[in-house]
Amino acid sequence: MKRQVMCQLEEIPDGTMKAVELESRAIVLIRKGKEVFALRDTCPHQGARLSNGVLTSRRLSSVAGDYRAEKAKQIVRCPWHNWEFDAASGRCLHDPQRLRVAVYRTEIENGQVVIVTS
Amino acid sequence: MGENSLEKSSLQAEASRVGSGIELVDCDVHGGINSIQDLMPYLPDVWQLYVRESGFKGIPPSWYPKVKPNAARSDSYPPSGRLPGTDLAFLQAHHLDFWKIDCAIVNPLFAADYLPNIDFGAALCSAYNDYMIENWYEKDERLYGSILVPFREPELAVQEIERVGGHPKVVQIILLVCAGALYGQRRFLPIWKAAEKKGLVVGIHWGGVEPTRAAGGIPTYYLEHHTNLAQAGMAQMVSFLCEGVFESCPDLRVAIIECGMAWLPALMWRLDKDWRGCRMEVPWMKRRPSESIREHFRFTTQPIEEPDNPAHLVQVIEHMGADHLLLFATDYPHWDFDSPARALPRQIPEPLRQRIFCQNALEFYALS
């Protein structure tokens, strides 16, 4: 197992994203409360940096005119064409079975954000 | 043998080719009244008086003179002197028997539902439906019918669906594609729920009340009008999808009639792509639009697109991603009629051909 420190937790205010680099790969760190998620920072559609996008809530609805925001989960919306990805799983909301961005395991150690790879 | 005999003999030879092993369903045949007088026995007294006292002659003709009188084939005038498509006996012999058509969906095109006086329009819709059921749909077992509904007043439309939609020969409610409104909008939902409940297809047919507007404005020529109303078919389909009609009516079926079909793959690609980026605005659209299209919509073939290389049409159908989407239609007696013997390119493989000619319609309209 390889453990690499990415940044201090306090560098990522709650509800924000931070672009970092891991062995020449672009990674976006996403903070939600005490948790930090790490995704590959490249949209599989046309290659935009997801870290330049919007961190927001998924919209829920059961019927036309019904608008709700699912605040419990965060999604990243691509800065270019609005493709949306679940921050925790990396799965693309419009095609979760076939489309996802890579997810990295994270830990918080002594106030530092650590990515753990095999 | 005279020229006419030669022509008839040649056509009959083609018709016999169609009948060899393939059952034939024609999903767009036009039948209807010769004049408002046909409807008088079916109108309530007060509206009979209104017709007499006002001199009402029927729906005003289109702004666009057609390329043929009544937009009809020159050979479709019955000896009885009635208008093309209004003499059942002639239509049976000239069309159904001649082409060995097993089932036909009859679409009366009488825009009573667009009259400014909604009560008069509703009375005309009811009278027309009763006339068609009694004089057409019940008179020939091959015929299945569409009903008119006063769609601008959904409550009245629902009443009409409740009144006649359960008739065993009624399979569809028929609307014109250029309606001055997009049918997916929420105010029309009670109509679609009523159609779904009765198991009726919603048929959206080429045409509309003038001025019919294609995208961008009012066209100058009939050629533009004839071509551009395909855009209205696209717009109506997109409206049903984006307004979430199928989330409320999961079993609703919609037929886009006479609005073309070669545009479908391009529209599916574009709508799928745009949906990915605009989902926050329409969160009720949980499925890819193209999946919903394949489940809920069908498209009639006439007037079939005719590329220089007919094989290209086969490729377009492949791009649709399903073999159950197309329904064969002739549009008899109109001038842009498609011949059952010649319209579909020979390059269409036999199983798909059989689906288009027959199986798709039998399934979609639940014909027996």
Which residue ranges form the domains of chain B, and what is each CATH number? 23-364 (3.20.20.140)
| The CATH number fitting domain A2-117, selected from 3.40.50.150, 2.102.10.10, 3.40.50.10300, 3.30.750.80 | 2.102.10.10
* Token pair recorded at residue A15: 């509800």
Per-residue pLDDT at B113 = 79
Q: Kindly state the average pLDDT of the residues B163-187.
A: 96
- Residue from B239, B245, B270, B279 whose CB has the most chain A CBs within 10 Å, to mutate: B279
Instruction: Give the total residue count for chain B.
Output: 368
Are B247 and A82 within 8 A, CB to CB? no
Task: Report pLDDT digits (tens) over A48-59.
Answer: 999 999 999 999
Of all residues in chain A, the one with the smallest CA distance to B274 is A81
* Token pair recorded at residue B260: 């073309």
Are B279 and A93 within 8 A, CB to CB? yes
**A63, A66, A94 member nearest B276 (Cβ):** A94
Backbone angles phi, psi at B192, to 5 degrees: -70, -35
Contact B358, B102 (CB under 8 A): yes
Q: Distance between CA atoms of B100 and B15, rounded to whole angstroms?
A: 7
Per DSSP, helices labelled H in B262-307 are 264-278, 289-296
Contact B257, B107 (CB under 8 A): yes
Contact B276, B225 (CB under 8 A): no
Find residues 75-114 of chain A whose CB sits inside 8 Å of chain B.
77, 81-84, 93-95
Contact A60, B281 (CB under 8 A): no
Find residues 31-70 of chain A whose CB sits inside 8 Å of chain B.
59-68
Structural domain boundaries of chain A? Answer: 2-117
Distances (CA, A) of B296 to A21, B235, B276, B340: 47, 15, 20, 25
State which H helix or E strand residue B317 sits in. helix B311-319
Are B244 and A63 within 8 A, CB to CB? yes
- CA distance from start to end of chain A: 4
Instruction: Give the total residue count for chain A.
Output: 118
- pLDDT band for B25, please (50, 70, 90 cuts): very high
Partnered with residue B172 across adjacent β-strands are: B146, B201
Of all residues in chain A, the one with the smallest CA distance to B288 is A94
Q: Distance between CA atoms of B259 and B228, rounded to whole angstroms?
A: 9
Per-residue pLDDT at B211 = 73
* ipTM confidence score: 0.92
Q: What is the dihedral angle through the alpha carbons of B220, B224, B188, B40, rounded to the nearest 10 degrees?
A: 80
Are A94 and B243 within 8 A, CB to CB? no
Contact A39, A50 (CB under 8 A): yes
Partnered with residue B170 across adjacent β-strands are: B145
Distance (Å) from the C-alpha of residue B180 to the closest C-alpha of chain A? 22
- pLDDT band for B3, please (50, 70, 90 cuts): very low
Q: Distance between CA atoms of B98 and B253, rounded to whole angstroms?
A: 30
Partnered with residue B148 across adjacent β-strands are: B174
Are A61 and B279 within 8 A, CB to CB? no
Are B284 and A84 within 8 A, CB to CB? no
Are A64 and B278 within 8 A, CB to CB? no
B278 interaction partners in chain A (CB closer than 8 Å): 82
Task: Report pLDDT digits (tens) over B106-149.
Answer: 999 888 878 889 999 999 999 999 999 999 999 999 999 999 99
Q: Look at A4-18, B216-230, B231-245 and tell me which has the smallest mean pLDDT.
A: B216-230
**A64, A67, A93 member nearest B186 (Cβ):** A64
Per-residue pLDDT at A39 = 98
Q: Kindly state the average pLDDT of the residues B85-111.
A: 96
- β-pairing verdict for B170-178 and B201-208: parallel
Of all residues in chain B, the one with the smallest CA distance to A64 is B244
Per-residue pLDDT at B2 = 43
pLDDT at B209 over 80: no
Q: Look at B60-69, B192-201, B262-271 and tell me which has the smallest mean pLDDT.
A: B60-69
Interface residues on B facing A, Cβ-Cβ cutoff 8 A = 186, 243-245, 247-248, 275-280, 282-284, 288
Contact B294, B321 (CB under 8 A): yes
Per DSSP, helices labelled H in A19-107 are none
